[in-house]
A and B are shown apart, each in its own frame.
Chain A
Amino acid sequence: MKLNLKIWRQEGPEAKGKMVDYPLDGVDGDMSFLEMMDILNEKLINEGETPVEFDHDCREGICGSCNMMINGEPHGPQKLTTTCQLHMRKFKDGDTITVEPWRAKAFPVIKDLIVDRSAFDRIQQAGGYISVNTSGNTQDANSIPIEKSKADEAFWSATCIGCGACVAACKNASAMLFTSAKISQFALLPQGEVEATDRVRNMVRQMDEEGFGNCTNTGACMVECPKGIKLDNIARMNREYLKAETVA
């Protein structure tokens, strides 16, 4: 398969970037997208050029590192799939593929396709946890009975891998799907009730401070999320926040 790649190249955070064309031959349909990028980088190194920098780690669809805007969609055209799990058989011989980094004020470009997603870490650190005394007398979480449907819902919210595709897909660069999933995974469980008020307040405040946009309910985040995180989380966050700011 022969492809024409159009890839964003940017030397560093302050440098001015541009789209660069890279023709690439010998791509196999069974390669993953990242393997295709590896082939390109080998070629660039052999030609004495700087390889394209991109984030990756597990290559199993669970670490949330491999963030690329492929042909205008986060993680490419296949739904419920991360870039590392996307295979080149989804493309045709002669295709032009545009590859860009996530675009958001809160996700500044570090180099080429790598963006700084530490804004997500700070949102998580603002309240996305349960304070537990680990002195040795900690109660086993399984000893607290939890309704199966709620446990399942909390689990599905917790499957968010924090890749940032929701922000990338949203026309407003909003982080509400991520933040709401991280709030929901605790809000649905009795262990999360104790700190529920501070959690939602602090995480929403941090999200706003990071400079993400507002949610206008287009639903693009849910459609592009590789883990299928649902919009129900955002509705739940809206409820939790109002409760925290008015009743609590």
Chain B
Amino acid sequence: MSALVKSSLARKWVMALSGLFLVVFLTQHFVINITSVIAPDTFNEWSHFMGYNGLVQFVAQPILIAGVIIHFVMGFVLDYQNRKARPVKYAKFSGNANSTWVSRNMIISGAVVLAFLGLHMYDFWVHEMAYKYVENKPEDPTRYLPELKEKFVDGWRVAIYVVSFVLLSLHLWHGFNSSFQSIGVKSVKKGDSLRKVTYAWAVLIPAGFVFIALFHYFNHIS
């Protein structure tokens, strides 16, 4: 078992499983956020539930934060080790002849998503923690939609969100289907239905988040 923890294959498993966990979280996050466009009352109701339910706050939230940290830390560890495995670079390396740019540059798309996550946590999570535990303000089940809309007033912030979600989409384009290969479920080939589903998900969910941001931004300025 100790060999498992130290092995390169175990690191692949950790990356894949934490990634799949974050895929599930992202789906749930999108389902709640899209209600801010199609059913504002439901958005407030669900957000309030997520913000005050003990199981969500004190069990699910720490697990989610741990999942995010594990995924990012392991990503940087793997990248460091991989760079060490080739100390002398090629004078000419035709990566495009055999692989996609996205698959070779997960560390770049991942770093952009991490930076975005910093902004996102500052925008919503820090505010939420301060509201509940520092300022000790009373429960207000109607505050969530106005707070969300307020964040999409500034054009520069919306632009950052859009760019970040494009990079997230690229990250997921390779990462989602590749995670199945890593855990040995199967080798996901071109034309495979599982691969098509992961590609569709990688485009549609980030595009949905972009739509939500643009919807609130243009509603504000019109």
Contacts and interface: CB of A to CB of B under 8 A. Distances in A.
Nearest to B77: A214
B8 A204 contact: yes
B92 interface: yes
Interface stretch (B34-42, B93-101, B136-144, B200-208): B93-101
B181 A214 contact: no
B183 A238 contact: yes
A156 interface: no
B11 A235 contact: no
A237 B95 contact: no
Nearest to A223: B98
A237 B9 contact: yes
B8 A208 contact: yes
A100 B87 contact: no
B24 interface: no
User: How many residues of B sit at the interface, in one of the four size bands?
Assistant: 35 or more
B82 A213 contact: yes
B181 A217 contact: yes
B90 interface: yes
B94 A216 contact: no
A205 interface: yes
Interface string A81-110: 000000000000000001010011110000
B146 to A, nearest CB: 43
B92 A100 contact: yes
Interface centre among A212, A215, A236, A246 (most CB of B within 10 A): A215
Contacts of A104: 85-86
Interface stretch (A51-59, A139-147, A167-175, A188-196): A167-175
Contacts of A237: 9, 184
A237 B184 CA distance: 8
A205 B3 CA distance: 8
A217 B99 CA distance: 9
Interface string B154-195: 000000000000000000001000100111111101000000
B88 A239 contact: no
A19 interface: yes
Contact of B104 (A171, A176, A208): A171
A173 B104 CA distance: 12
B87 to A, nearest CB: 6
21 contacts: A6-B91, A73-B94, A106-B85, A171-B104, A205-B3, A207-B8, A208-B6, A211-B85, A214-B85, A215-B182, A217-B181, A220-B98, A224-B98, A231-B181, A235-B184, A238-B9, A238-B13, A238-B183, A241-B4, A241-B7, A245-B4
Interface of B: 1, 3-4, 6-9, 11-13, 78, 81-82, 84-95, 97-100, 103-104, 106, 174, 178, 181-187, 189
Interface of A: 6, 8, 19, 69, 71-73, 77, 98, 100, 103-106, 169, 171-174, 176, 201, 204-205, 207-208, 211-220, 223-224, 230-232, 234-242, 245-246
Given A171-B104, A204-B7, 14 more contacts: A19-B91, A69-B90, A72-B93, A98-B91, A98-B92, A103-B90, A171-B99, A214-B11, A214-B81, A219-B98, A235-B181, A239-B184, A241-B4, A242-B13
